[in-house]
Amino acid sequence: MDTVAAPGFLFTVLAFVLVLGVLVFVHEFGHYAMARLFGIRVETFSVGFGREILGVTDRRGTRWKVGWIPLGGYAKFAGDLNEASQPDPAVAGLPEAERAGLFQFRPLWQRAAVVAAGPAINFLFAILLFAVFFMTWGHQYTPPVVGTVVADGPAAAAGVRAGDRFLEVDGQPVDRFEDMVRIVAMSPGDPMPVLVERDGAQLRLTLVPQKVEDVDRFGNRYVRGRIGIRSGPPEVVHRAPLSALAHAVDETASITRLMGDTLAQIVTGRRTIEELGGPLKIAQFSGQSAALGAAALVSFVALISINLGFVNLLPIPALDGGHLLLYAIEGIRRRPLEPRVQEWVFMTGFVFLISIMLLLTMNDLASFGLWQGLKGLLG
């Protein structure tokens, strides 16, 4: 594969702001729309943090604005103490008539629905993008049938033969060769059971993907698993609307499952956190995807939308998943946690998120060769 020159800095920044801005708007609009459905007053809808660059107030009193730090956003409801939707203890003494449009006085199920709507709309948005992609640019489809087996490779060692059709890989059903490649890539060096069909019979084999390093056309290096098989020629199928939607749901579910597997591998020590990217990597890939054209950019936006929905569902205070966890505790206790406890929980979650963000940024800088460069200068 020929190496392609990386896009310029300004182009990368603009692509990053566009990608993240669209996805943050979609995420926060999920919260906003569900809140409006329940008659909850929304004071602020912001894309970006920090000082307001521009904004407008609508007839309902909601301030729609853009902040100068394009690394997220928020929908602030009436009665919230801050942008993280931490309840304001001061509203507890308000008369009943003034509580009607306040978020924290709504039934538990409504508050949970408002919080869950953000990640949910990110998944729905990804499904919509994939469906449009499959109808317009087409859906690459390669039957999961082995064309050739590389001699002395993991597949050959496991007994895989040309003509075998893969049915399951690591417990996951596969319909396309591309699905199988994606699953194998996430588990270099880990034994995985596979189910193949040969001459009408089903066989269970165990593969151990070889750990290899790939370099893409921009020079980015990736570690992935490979089993040493090749498929036949791929087909590009332009799907009808219902078929495109069904395959888009499958694609989104498959990517979400792989994200969960990756997180589990990191938690259990099978993969290192150094393999994760942060905001700088997202910015880099935004520019590279935009440089490759509309098809690559749409596919990348769908992937990041799934990532945003997945991460926000993690049970970490200050994220949507953290709020849902507190609501679950409230449902079990039949009353919310005390304000002081909630404040401590939110602050702990905030510190944790900032720490993770700094760590991922350090990973990004390391992948760019910054530390090696400084070491060379100082040495």
Could you list the active site residues? 28
For residues 191 and 210, give the distance between their C-alpha atoms in angstroms, rounded to a whole number: 10
The contacts of residue 161 (CB under 8 Å, 6+ apart) are 146, 149, 198
Angle at 130 between CA 124 and CA 135, to 5 degrees: 130
* Interacting residues of 264 by C-beta distance below 8 A, sequence separation 6+: none
Instruction: Give the DSSP letter string of 44-102.
Output: EEEEEEEEEEEEEE-TTS-EEEEEEEEEEEEEEETTBSSTT--B-GGGGGS-GGGGTT-
Give the SS3 label for residue 294.
helix
| CB contact set of 322 (below 8 Å; sequence gap of 6+) | 314, 315, 316, 345, 349
In angstroms, the CA 96 to CA 105 distance is 10
Helix (H) or strand (E) holding 139: strand 139-141
Is the sign of the CA dihedral 370, 372, 377, 379 positive or negative?
positive
